Amino acid sequence: MIANDSTTASVIIDFDSIKNLTASEALAIDRLILDELSSDVVLINQIGHYIIGNGGKRLRPMLLLLAAKALGKVEDHHLIMAAVIEFIHTATLLHDDVVDESVLRRGKESANAVWGNAASVLVGDYLYSSAFEMMVRNRAIDCIVRGEGEATARDLLLALRDDAPLAPIPGITYREGDEIVANPEREAIAELDLIPSPFAAGLVDLAKPLVYYETSRGCPFSCAFCMSSIDSGVRSFPMARIERDLLLLMEGGARTVKLVDRTFNYDAARANQIWRFILAQRSASKFHFEIAADLLTGENLALLAEVPPGQFRFEIGVQSGGEETLAKVERSSSLARLFGNVRRLKAETNITVHLDLVAGLPGECVAEIDGDNHHRVVRLQTVEIRAFGICCFSQVLCQKE
């Protein structure tokens, strides 16, 4: 780091000297991370230790510690938050490597290359959950924003700036002395276009391997095991806004755009309009969509046959190959139509398809995980099948109720 002009003396600090400023605290963070990682599940210990101990500069925790020092001194809650930041960062690395199909991370085999995608995703989720648990224990976290955050975070920041009371702000939970106060929910933002585009504002680094993007929020379905089913209905950004954002992404050289829409093709005509717009740009950007294969129409499939090899990737939730199981979790999809369309995607298009299955749904205990329901899906011979586990299904149901 060099500061030099005619009025100030030159100061050169190399990275190691900066790192040494927080060396003893960094050791304390390592101990804390190892304590928090300790689990009865062997795989969590193995993958967690593998990726956390796999080098890395730990820049994020270090910045937090330097900021704490600059403002006074490092206290226990700063150490906890530094560990939380490292957990969340590590979880994103695990998930990104799965989506990017990376086989290397910091010069060593990535966790998904060693243990497979399902294990990496689940351990990433475990790290996320642990990070949130640590935050709840940390009294320095005195307020959180729940749900859709754009409007709530703005109101909260304005209230903090003006030293105004927090009680009127919907969608936050905060500490008041020893009490935790949960304000009422905030209404969903009706006009999504009111949210400024982070791409137009230049806030997203398009040079990164993966850019997340949404054209809609919410899901029209209500699968009992899924948190997305709690939202009511779907809201779409206006088509003009979607096209502006997509152009910014493609012209800005985004390599892979992962759409986080829960069911991108909930409206077949809308999906076709967006797909047609992307294809018309003849861009090198690749796109990853989560779709419901049973909702694909003949028009969709005809257009999708024009997609160049490698440009689109579809993630399709099958969840179970058993009608009875799907009925029990209130998942309203037609397996016959889904299977038929997956076969057509495979035969008639160049789209990479992967299917998601959930292990442990009602009626599918350990013995059934390798049983008929899942074999029906395996017989589709798609490129990739990913299995997620639901350990506490009844708890998810209860939470929904």
For ligand SF4, which residue of 131, 219, 249, 359 counts as binding (CB under 6 A)? Answer: 219
Q: By CB under 6 A, which span of 48-56, 80-88, 226-234, 362-370 interacts with ligand SF4?
A: 226-234
The DSSP bridge partners found for residue 386 are 356
* Residue 74 near residue 65 (C-beta atoms within 8 A): yes
Closer CB to ligand SF4, residue 112 or residue 229? 229
Angle at 221 between CA 100 and CA 118, to 5 degrees: 30
Q: For residue 79, give both structure tokens.
A: 């150490």
- The reply on whether position 226 binds ligand SF4 by CB under 6 A is yes
Between CA 77 and CA 87 the distance in angstroms is: 15
User: What are the start-end ranges of the H helices in 237-334?
Assistant: 239-251, 268-281, 298-304, 323-328
Amino acid at site 322: G
Residues 330-389 that bind ligand SF4 (CB under 6 A): 331
- The reply on whether position 221 binds ligand SF4 by CB under 6 A is yes
User: What are the start-end ranges of the H helices in 206-267?
Assistant: 239-251
Shortest reach from residue 315's CB to ligand SF4, in Å: 10
- The reply on whether position 119 binds ligand SF4 by CB under 6 A is no
Closer CB to ligand SF4, residue 229 or residue 272? 229
Between CA 271 and CA 234 the distance in angstroms is: 14
Q: Could you tell me the sign of the dihedral formed by the alpha carbons of 172, 175, 176, 179, in that order?
A: positive
* Residue 195 near residue 241 (C-beta atoms within 8 A): no
Shortest reach from residue 231's CB to ligand SF4, in Å: 9
Q: By CB under 6 A, which span of 51-59, 215-223, 295-303, 389-397 interacts with ligand SF4?
A: 215-223
Shortest reach from residue 234's CB to ligand SF4, in Å: 9
Q: For residue 24, give both structure tokens.
A: 């003893």
- The reply on whether position 317 binds ligand SF4 by CB under 6 A is yes
For ligand SF4, which residue of 79, 93, 223, 293 counts as binding (CB under 6 A)? Answer: 223
Between CA 51 and CA 61 the distance in angstroms is: 16
Residues 251-310 that bind ligand SF4 (CB under 6 A): 262-263
- The reply on whether position 171 binds ligand SF4 by CB under 6 A is no
- The reply on whether position 95 binds ligand SF4 by CB under 6 A is no
Task: List residues near ligand SF4 by CB under 6 A.
Answer: 219, 221-223, 226, 228-229, 262-263, 317, 331
